């Protein structure tokens, strides 16, 4: 589902569409694997228009690869998650972020189970071509560009691609880690040791990007940056635009991601940024990981069919009968 500030709904396998400024998506993997719950939200924040675009959607099922260690023939579904922050002036940034999301969606819609990192690289390059061409259509030299951070989840495997300063964070064991690295002037200065992280946050050049989609005719060969991780139960993944950075602290991210489920966390983080006076659009996508067996286990009723009763009930019944007989014999002996 794509949003550029308008109301949108939730969707997914068996999930009804509900109008509102957030999206909720749930996916249960097979037993003993992972269950993923995703929520997303966006707001114009301190701007009159929303140039952010977010996407949360199912990926088509593919057979699992042999190297995953799963039985052959097991089919894996998955998620595509993305946040884009457009730039280019009135209505132009919205066009750029929308084109980026649409290119990404097309590239992965018919995913045959090919290498995910390669598919993401191809998607980013196609998006760059489209956005650059749109910005120069009819002889126009108007700047048109966007950031993009995207995540593909297949089973327990996570692949992230990014360009610009929209970020991906991972919360694991109550520790927040920024997975992506901003492609920005101040980040380069921090890496070179000429700026401290605090100075970078306060710099008037903090919004100057060194890489983005649509800014050049050909994307840099090193772009996008790719990160591959293995998810664990209780992990939280956050994708977000830069409307958070000046007003929401890492401690706020940690507290919200721990205390709230993904849909509520996404909405709460966006609301927090707006309340604290963000001057930019603000968007968040949050994915939470749970053990599928815990998430899917159904209680078994005592009056259900015998075949549905758990195996441990049989020895318990036998033991109860033996104890009852022993008590009866003891009572007869006393009498």
- 318 and 287 fall within a common domain: no
Domain that holds residue 228: 2-297
- 112 and 222 fall within a common domain: yes
Q: At what angle do helices 92-109 and 116-135 cross, to 10 degrees?
A: 150
- What local confidence, expressed as pLDDT, does residue 216 receive? 92
Domain count, the chain: 2
69 burial (CB, 10 Å; 0-12 / 13-18 / 19+) is exposed
- What local confidence, expressed as pLDDT, does residue 298 receive? 37
Residues 163-218 have pLDDT tens digits of: 999 999 999 999 999 999 999 998 888 888 888 877 787 777 788 899 999 999 99
**Euclidean distance between CA atoms 148 and 232, whole angstroms:** 25
- What local confidence, expressed as pLDDT, does residue 11 receive? 30
- What local confidence, expressed as pLDDT, does residue 195 receive? 83
**Euclidean distance between CA atoms 180 and 169, whole angstroms:** 7
Q: For the chain, what is the mean pLDDT?
A: 80
- What local confidence, expressed as pLDDT, does residue 25 receive? 58
- What local confidence, expressed as pLDDT, does residue 247 receive? 95
- 219 and 305 fall within a common domain: no
Residues 28-79 have pLDDT tens digits of: 544 456 899 999 999 999 999 999 999 999 988 877 654 445 445 556 778 9
- 275 and 326 fall within a common domain: no
- 267 and 307 fall within a common domain: no
- What local confidence, expressed as pLDDT, does residue 64 receive? 66
- 259 and 304 fall within a common domain: no
CATH code of the domain in which 286 resides: 3.60.40.10
**Euclidean distance between CA atoms 247 and 207, whole angstroms:** 15
- Residue 20's pLDDT band (boundaries 50, 70, 90)? very low
- What local confidence, expressed as pLDDT, does residue 293 receive? 58
- 190 and 62 fall within a common domain: yes
Please report, rounded to a whole number, the percentage of residues in the chain having pLDDT higher than 70: 70
- 240 and 312 fall within a common domain: no
Q: Is the pLDDT of residue 142 over 90?
A: no
Ramachandran area for residue 90 (φ above 0: left; ψ -120 to 50: alpha; else beta) = beta
Q: Is the pLDDT of residue 117 over 60?
A: yes
Residues 217-276 have pLDDT tens digits of: 999 999 999 999 999 999 999 999 999 999 999 999 999 999 999 999 999 999 999 999
């Amino acid at each position: 589902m794509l949003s550029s500030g308008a109301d949108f709904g939730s969707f997914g396998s068996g999930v009804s569409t509900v109008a509102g400024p957030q999206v909720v998506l749930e996916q249960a993997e097979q037993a003993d694997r992972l269950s993923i719950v995703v929520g997303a939200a966006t707001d114009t924040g301190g701007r009159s228009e929303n140039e952010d675009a977010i996407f949360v959607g199912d990926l088509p099922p593919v057979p699992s690869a042999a190297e995953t260690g799963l039985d052959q023939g097991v089919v894996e579904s998955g998620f595509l998650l993305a946040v884009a922050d457009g730039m280019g002036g009135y209505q132009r940034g919205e066009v750029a972020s929308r084109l980026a999301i649409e290119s990404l969606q097309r590239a992965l819609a018919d995913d045959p189970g090919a290498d995910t990192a390669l598919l993401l690289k191809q998607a980013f390059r196609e998006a760059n071509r489209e956005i650059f061409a749109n910005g120069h259509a009819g002889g126009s030299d108007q700047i048109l560009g966007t950031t993009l951070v995207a995540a593909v989840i297949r089973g327990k495997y996570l692949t992230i691609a990014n360009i610009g300063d929209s970020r991906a964070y991972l919360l694991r064991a109550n520790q927040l880690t920024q997975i992506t690295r901003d492609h920005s002037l101040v980040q380069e200065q921090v890496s070179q040791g000429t700026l401290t992280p605090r100075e970078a946050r306060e710099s008037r050049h903090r919004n100057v990007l060194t890489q983005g989609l649509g800014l050049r005719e050909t994307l840099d060969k090193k772009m996008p940056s790719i990160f591959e991780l293995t998810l664990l139960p209780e992990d939280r993944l956050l994708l977000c635009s830069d409307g958070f950075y000046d007003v929401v602290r890492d401690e706020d991210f940690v507290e919200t991601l721990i205390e709230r489920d993904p849909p509520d966390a996404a909405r709460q983080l966006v609301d927090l940024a707006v309340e604290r006076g963000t001057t930019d659009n603000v968007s968040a996508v949050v994915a939470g990981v749970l053990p599928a067996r815990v998430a899917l286990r159904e209680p078994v009723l005592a009056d259900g069919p015998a075949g549905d009763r758990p195996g441990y009930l049989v020895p318990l019944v036998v033991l109860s009968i033996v104890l009852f007989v022993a008590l009866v014999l003891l009572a007869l002996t006393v009498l």
